[in-house]
Amino acid sequence: MSVNLLELVNSSLTREDAGKIASLLGEVSSSVSGGIATASASVMAGLINKASTTGGGLDLLTKINAGGFNGDFLHRFGSMLSEEEHRKGDLQKTGGELISWLFGPRQDALHKLLASSTGLSKSSVPPLLGMIAPLVMSVIGKQVASENLDSKGLVNLLNTQKNAVQHSAPAALAPLLGLANL
């Protein structure tokens, strides 16, 4: 039985983490909780899409290793949500670069889609994605390390996530990514 990466992402976030994210975004906790799940599924869909391209698995593995996305990051995530760390913007910068890499010119359409499907303001979506993308990458990176996956193994792992992502991501995400389905 394969691991459900979205469940691992969601279980790695504490209620306190979700509250910190809501506070940083100036949003209601209930909206942010749903937004986190939708953002995680959207990032995962982007990763699945990226991995399906020629050389995408190797590019993704390189990005995971170069970015230090591993279990250590998961342990530091909660402290990265402090007001002081948020002002530094390291997490946001890293996450923004990941979102740009994954979605390119489709970022604005993704922001609109997530805002309309979650009830979050459009201005809250980019920082939310910026916080969630490194978390998703770190959960995947931890799996890569623990299972000693190469690029082909990583692609296979991501392909096993399509069903979970399809059930969690907004329906309009597949056409946004240019996929017939996830």
> Using CB atoms within 10 A of its CB, is residue 1 exposed (0-12), middle (13-18) or buried (19+)?
exposed
State mean pLDDT over 23-33: 89
Structural domain count, the chain: 1
Check pLDDT > 60 for residue 128.
yes
**Structural domain contains residue 180:** no
Check pLDDT > 90 for residue 76.
no
CB 182 within 8 A of CB 45: yes
**Structural domain contains residue 181:** no
Domain membership of residue 100 as a residue range: 5-173
| Cα–Cα distances in angstroms (integers) from residue 140 to residues 65, 126, 170, in the given order | 11, 21, 21
Q: How remote is the C-alpha of 41 from its chain's centroid?
A: 7
State mean pLDDT over 94-119: 93
Spatial distance between the Cα atoms of 125 and 115, rounded to a whole number of angstroms: 6
**Structural domain contains residue 78:** yes
**Structural domain contains residue 26:** yes
Spatial distance between the Cα atoms of 146 and 164, rounded to a whole number of angstroms: 21
In which residue are the tokens 């970022």 written?
107
Spatial distance between the Cα atoms of 152 and 158, rounded to a whole number of angstroms: 10
**Structural domain contains residue 179:** no
CB 66 within 8 A of CB 134: no
Q: How confident is the model at residue 103 (pLDDT cuts 50, 70, 90)?
A: very high
CB 119 within 8 A of CB 31: yes
**Structural domain contains residue 90:** yes
- Looking at residue 180, its pLDDT comes to 54
**Structural domain contains residue 151:** yes
**Structural domain contains residue 149:** yes
In which residue are the tokens 């990176």 written?
141
Q: Is the dihedral of CA 18, 63, 57, 117 positive or negative?
A: positive
- The first and second tokens of residue 47, run together, are 């990763």
The pTM of the full predicted model, rounded to 2 decimals, is 0.92
**% of the chain residues with pLDDT over 70:** 94
Q: How remote is the C-alpha of 162 from its chain's centroid?
A: 14
